[in-house]
Amino acid sequence: MPAIVPGRHAGKIAIVTGAGQGIGRGVAKRFVQEGAHVVIAEYNKANAESAAQELSALGPEALAYPIDIGDTAQIEQMVRDVVARFGRIDILVNNAGVLETLPLFDLTPEKWDWLQRVNQRGLFFCLQAVAKQMVAQVPDEVKQAGRADRSYGKIVNFSSVAGRSGRPYAAHYSAAKWAVISITQSAAAYLAPYNINVNAVCPGVVPTPMWDDIDKTQSARFGMQRGEWIKKTIESVPLKRAATPEDLAAAVSFLCSTDADYITGQALNVDGGIEMN
């Protein structure tokens, strides 16, 4: 179990999208345990509220913020609301995502657009809106110098091992997750003069509600019992276990810490060795 680093993010303001359940909730919990105030930017209002209630009990503030990140007007409003409430934004974790596995020939334009709207477009416009705010927080003399001697913000985007190699039953998802790596590199290069770090993480298999859906659909598709598809997938992981949300939260927390001030534009596989590039 990764160890919490008390005070590592003391007083920081972090937005975590899709933090109502699964990996995002684990990331938000770790930030709160390490001293950050967290905005739970989540589509499912009930889950946003239950996460906020659970995490607020740990000390720092956890704010439920129901939002559809596919809607750019809502994203811009969220940035205004968070700044009005907390005064600034230090960390953005672009974790929200959707997936419905589909054979290549069954992918429709509607299914394609539905997924890109959140996983690619939504992620990009969250990054853009928050990065504008982070740049606004950089003092003028630093802007004029074109370089900063400390970090003025950390952004972590959720890609996937499917962003490293294609997937026969998730071509739309794989395309979006490759795009996340490209967006990460473009943003890292653009924001480097302000010392705003932008990185991605690529999880492998993390049993969450998303994986529950994958297992249900893929097991049925291949005439297997429920649970067999995920079991088979986990057996193929070199480290021979699934990841936990805590494994991902540890990597994200590191990337958002001062220990990672000199790391930008990278995509870190957190996948038990599935991908080794």
Handedness of CA 273, 29, 16, 169 (dihedral sign): positive
Window 160-179: residues binding ligand NAD (CB under 6 A)? 160
- Phi and psi (nearest 5°) for 174? -60, -40
Residue window 85-114: x/- pattern of binding to ligand NAD, with contact defined by CB under 6 A: ----------xxxxx---------------
Q: Is 129 in the site for ligand NAD (CB under 6 A)?
A: no
* Nearest CA-CA partner of 5 in 200, 267, 269, 252: 252
Task: Closer to ligand NAD by CB, 196 or 243: give it.
Answer: 243
Taking CB under 6 A as the criterion, the residue among 32, 36, 69, 255 binding ligand NAD is 69
Residue window 224-243: x/- pattern of binding to ligand NAD, with contact defined by CB under 6 A: --------------------
- Amino acid identity of residue 122, one-letter, is G
CA 146 to the chain's CA centroid:
28
Task: Closer to ligand NAD by CB, 96 or 175: give it.
Answer: 96
Q: How far is the CB of 17 from ligand NAD (least distance, A)?
A: 6
- Phi and psi (nearest 5°) for 22? 60, -145
> How far apart are the C-alpha atoms of 34 and 136, rounded to whole Å?
26
The two tokens of residue 214 are 């994958």
Query: Which candidate in 43, 152, 169, 173 is catalytic?
Result: 173
Strand extents, DSSP E, 127-245:
153-158, 196-203
Contact between residue 36 and residue 7 where contact means Cβ atoms under 8 Å apart: no
Q: How far is the CB of 167 from ligand NAD (least distance, A)?
A: 11
The two tokens of residue 175 are 């395309």
Residue 65 bears catalytic tag: no
Angle between helices 45-56 and 22-33 (to 10 degrees): 30
Task: Closer to ligand NAD by CB, 43 or 194: give it.
Answer: 43
Task: Closer to ligand NAD by CB, 98 or 134: give it.
Answer: 98
Q: Is 258 in the site for ligand NAD (CB under 6 A)?
A: no
Interacting residue ranges for ligand NAD, rule: CB under 6 A: 17-18, 20-24, 42-44, 47, 67-70, 95-99, 118, 122, 158, 160, 203, 205-206, 208-211
